[in-house]
Structure 1
Amino acid sequence: MTLVVPGGRHTSSSAATSTRAAAHSAPEQRPTALPAWPLAGVLACYPLWWALGLGVLIFPLAAAPMLVLLLRRRAAGRPLLLPPGFAWWLLFLAAVVVSVAALGADPSGTVAEPATGRLVAVVYRLSLYASLTVLLVYAGNLTERELPRRRLVKLLGWLFVITVAGGLLGMVAGRFEFTSPVEWLLPHGIRSKGFVQSMVHPYAAQIMDLVGGEKPRPAAPWGYTNTWGNNFCLLVGWLVVAAWASRRGGVKLFAVLCLAVSIVPAIFSLNRGLWIGLGVVVGYVAARYVLMGRIWIIGAVALAAAGLVVALVATPLGDTVNARIDNGKSNGVRSFLIERAVDGFAESPLIGYGSTRNTIGGRNSITVGESSECERCGNFTVGGNGQFWQLMYAHGAAGTGAYLAFFGYGLWRFRRDRTPIGIAGSAAIVSSFSAMLWYNSLATPLVFMFLAYALLWRNEQAANRQGGQALESR
């Protein structure tokens, strides 16, 4: 018997059968497989990228191969999965683009500037939002064979260890810095800008006068002290989950020691937002476990709190905390910028102004301004004191609502996930809601928010597959 194939060729049935068998036995048509290296390489080697001067720039660079690989898989006929609630995120991106129409507006009390002068910052933010969107989709489409969830959790736990190490470096060598290879390649006029320096010039800490005298506040490897504190809260849960899943006692002991040591740079960072964020994470996790009937968590939290109190009383850490509480130098600036953000939102409530704006002078005088000796003096950035205020001011109600709806929907969608990954991922997103009142999310905090979302999403996919297999076996 012969099989007629379009094109006039005749093939024996046995040959056709062997051809089909060979096709089925081929290991997952490699053109459709997603390699782990674009994501795993960025996370595992982040200290190297930081030292090279790439820092946050590595994410747009890594997004390029991710996008190519996703499109290649889609062209090969494999489905491209999108995260739950993705329509909200697309609406947010659309709001960001639409708000560019107001880029030429000069709200009252801000420095007048042509729209073209603000375009660089807008393109930078939009490129990051787009790149990290690709990262989210890529991370969610990776299979367990390509990048197991457990390995991704380990990578995030590793970055918490790096955060603690960077914090210790900032404490003991606060003025440590060096010129990176990328920085060497840039023209002097560009690399001398403060914003560019924060991306390409590696340094251990920001030197600030908050409690009397200039003191280093940990920043490595995340560029800013506030970003360091934000990432601390977003990553701490993953170290616990990774250690919890390990069968090796040494790994668990290392995690406990790392958590204990991390208290020191967390306190010396003088970062009140970090302290609040940790309280939110611990409170949320404890509440979830109590609702699951695991009352022992109350005793564990009480024991940890008692140990912290003893450490604060018996060491200079307590004096540092008291000094920071008694010296709220940044309170006036934050209040001033919040007031300006609210006023600006009232003037352009729907689409905002497309970007941040610089105030005319400071909160006490309009005569205080930027100079060649002090690039950051006087002209405070409206929208630079928290993601919420930036969204509201730059992208109006449309952008703010869509952004909050995406992450809020995720929390609701995955609320029944009681696995360690489910609780840690939800805790990271919950902490980001509190942090957005004083921290901005671009770029690395949004990376870790997206990866928490991706892990929750992949957990749901795995649960659905297991449920389907259970039904088939009945």
Structure 2
Amino acid sequence: MAMTTTRRTPATHVDDVHDALPAWPVLALLWGFPVFWLLGATVIAGVALTVVMLSYLVHHRATRLVPGVYAFTAFVVWVVPCAVMIDSTERMLGYTYRFSILVIVGTAFVYTISAGSRLTRRAIVDGLTAVWVFTVVGGILGLLFPETRLTTPIGLLLPDALTGNDYVRDLFFPPFAEVQQPFGSPVEFVRPSAPFPYANSWGVAIVLLTPVAIACFLQARSRLPRVVVAVGLVAMIAPALSTSNRGMFAGLALAAVYVVVRLTIRDRAAPVLAIGVLGAIGAAVLVGNGLLNQIRTRQQYGDSSGTRWSLYQETFERSLQSPLLGYGAPRPSTSEPLISAGTQGYVWMLMFSFGFVGLAFFLTFLWGTTLRTWRAPGDVDLVLHSVLVVASVIIAIYGLDIMQMLSIMLVAAVLLRRRHGLDTAGTRD
């Protein structure tokens, strides 16, 4: 009897290698976020999981490089020599914290692109939606317990010399809300922030993750996730209204308009009508509950816009004095007390901390990826693409914490993987 042997083709072998990468390291970053937050160990856990992801990538030799990876890698590499510009131990700690975040999200980005069929689009969207749900819950907690601060085990282990710093204190003993009453204001503003240190961070998370939650609704195969998303959309109205965050509402409106226009071009009448009706109802509820009056009052007594423009001008002028390596980290403003130059938006932080070269590398990654994946053929991909569109704009106004950065990077990874035909689970997703 003749014997035949079947030879594995190189393509099949490559697919098997990438299918060997497990999904759990990336999903643990998402589903484990509530636990990490309670422990004060979000970045520490991220570093540990990064080591795991790098070990898998090296062991299986499974790294896939696509356009977008190169620009972000160049950005991270450029950040390294910027450390020579640090002028104090305190700012070195801040630099280390920010650099750790870049390594964590960059590794998760490459790992997700390389993970083959195990780390599906559905799994990523579900995990990010879980973070969105926890963000909404945190916002409600901020409304109910505005004076509360979380005491984390990691925070208790830190020396007083560190926790005496306001930024470190807010990271490891995060408040549930920012309670503000600008001088002369007749009312007190309770702006929910949990599970993030600042109210603006909460707003950015809502802007970036709400489209992901909508994508989860669209791809759901059962009723439960659709009910969870629908309840979450209603539940987030109260904390969102309380933040009176103009950028957050503008970002959500931009995402909705972008999706509506793209769907209209595709002659998709039903989704356009549904989004239009929901948007009109949401706007009516917000305006009817005093959103515009809250924003006017905060602007009248807080003058946040005037302060921002002053800091932007100072940040740009000081960046011109160190255009290549920047200053390594934000530094106290010379004109605005208690505020640092390079903190009023991610673009300005990059410019001030890592120079115009670092800023150019990051924008090349983000804007290049947004343009590269603009086709987004399905409804779910289109909604996800709105995350990159909105992120490309709001970084001029708001900063990005680890979960906001991770959200952008994972959405970018999913879309790039599908764009370059690397999503072996695409037909089942």
TM surpasses 0.5: yes
From 389, 409, 427, the equivalent of 2:368 is 409
From 42, 64, 80, the equivalent of 2:63 is 80
- The alignment status of 1:387 with 2:346, answered yes or no, reads yes
Q: How far 1:292 moved relative to its partner?
A: 1.4
Deviation string 1:313-340 (CA, Å, 9 cap, x unpaired) is: 5434554344345445322321221011
Q: Residues of 2 paired with 1:284 and 1:202: CA distance?
A: 34
Does the 8 Å CA contact 1:32/1:73 hold for their aligned counterparts?
no
- The alignment status of 1:157 with 2:129, answered yes or no, reads yes
Q: Residues of 1 paired with 2:20 and 2:411: CA distance?
A: 23
Q: Residues of 2 paired with 1:41 and 1:463: CA distance?
A: 22
Deviation string 1:264-314 (CA, Å, 9 cap, x unpaired) is: 211111212211111211121112112212244443343223313432454
Q: Residues of 2 paired with 1:428 and 1:212: CA distance?
A: 37
Q: Which amino acid aligns with 2:245?
A: N
- The alignment status of 1:127 with 2:100, answered yes or no, reads yes
**Residues 1:328 and 1:202: Cα distance change in structure 2 (over 3 Å):** closer
From 139, 145, 148, the equivalent of 1:176 is 148
Q: Residues of 2 paired with 1:331 and 1:29: CA distance?
A: 54
| Number of equivalences | 420
Instruction: Please name the residue that 2:204 is paired with.
Output: 230
Normalising by structure 1, we get a TM-score of: 0.80
- The alignment status of 1:94 with 2:77, answered yes or no, reads yes
Does the 8 Å CA contact 2:138/2:194 hold for their aligned counterparts?
yes
Secondary structure of the 2:236 match is helix
Instruction: Please name the residue that 2:175 is paired with.
Output: 203
Q: Which amino acid aligns with 1:285?
A: V
**Residues 1:466 and 1:298: Cα distance change in structure 2 (over 3 Å):** closer
The structure with the larger Rg is: 1
From 427, 431, 435, the equivalent of 2:386 is 427
Secondary structure of the 2:307 match is helix
- The alignment status of 1:71 with 2:43, answered yes or no, reads no
- The alignment status of 1:444 with 2:418, answered yes or no, reads no
- The alignment status of 1:38 with 2:34, answered yes or no, reads no
**Residues 1:73 and 1:338: Cα distance change in structure 2 (over 3 Å):** same
Instruction: Please name the residue that 1:143 is paired with.
Output: 116
**Residues 1:313 and 1:207: Cα distance change in structure 2 (over 3 Å):** closer
Q: Residues of 1 paired with 2:425 and 2:141: CA distance?
A: 45
Q: Residues of 1 paired with 2:84 and 2:102: CA distance?
A: 18
Does the 8 Å CA contact 1:83/1:137 hold for their aligned counterparts?
no
Q: Which runs of 5+ in 1 are unaligned?
A: 1-12, 104-113, 364-377, 469-474
Q: How far 1:123 moved relative to its partner?
A: 2.3
**Residues 1:381 and 1:466: Cα distance change in structure 2 (over 3 Å):** closer
- The alignment status of 1:258 with 2:232, answered yes or no, reads yes
Instruction: Please name the residue that 1:242 is paired with.
Output: 216
Q: Residues of 2 paired with 1:297 and 1:32: CA distance?
A: 35
Normalising by structure 2, we get a TM-score of: 0.88
Does the 8 Å CA contact 1:421/1:456 hold for their aligned counterparts?
no
Deviation string 1:403-443 (CA, Å, 9 cap, x unpaired) is: 11111111121111222342133211111122112211232
Does the 8 Å CA contact 2:116/2:423 hold for their aligned counterparts?
no
Secondary structure of the 1:255 match is helix
Does the 8 Å CA contact 1:99/1:353 hold for their aligned counterparts?
yes
Q: Which amino acid aligns with 2:20?
A: A
Q: Residues of 2 paired with 1:98 and 1:194: CA distance?
A: 27
Q: Which runs of 5+ in 2 are unaligned?
A: none
Q: Residues of 2 paired with 1:147 and 1:397: CA distance?
A: 35
From 155, 160, 163, the equivalent of 1:191 is 163
Q: Residues of 2 paired with 1:139 and 1:463: CA distance?
A: 10
Deviation string 1:148-200 (CA, Å, 9 cap, x unpaired) is: 21121111112111111111111111122232222222223323332222222
Secondary structure of the 1:426 match is helix
State the percentage of identical aligned residues.
27
- The alignment status of 1:307 with 2:281, answered yes or no, reads yes
Does the 8 Å CA contact 1:52/1:180 hold for their aligned counterparts?
yes
**Residues 1:246 and 1:31: Cα distance change in structure 2 (over 3 Å):** closer
Matches within 5 A, 1:4-83: 33-74=20-61, 79-83=62-66
Secondary structure of the 2:408 match is helix
Matches within 5 A, 1:310-329: 310-317=284-291, 319-329=293-303
Q: Which amino acid aligns with 2:80?
A: V
Q: Which amino acid aligns with 2:73?
A: L
Q: Which amino acid aligns with 1:224?
A: Y
Q: Which amino acid aligns with 1:243?
A: F
**Residues 1:29 and 1:88: Cα distance change in structure 2 (over 3 Å):** closer
Q: Residues of 2 paired with 1:351 and 1:180: CA distance?
A: 35
Does the 8 Å CA contact 1:422/1:459 hold for their aligned counterparts?
no
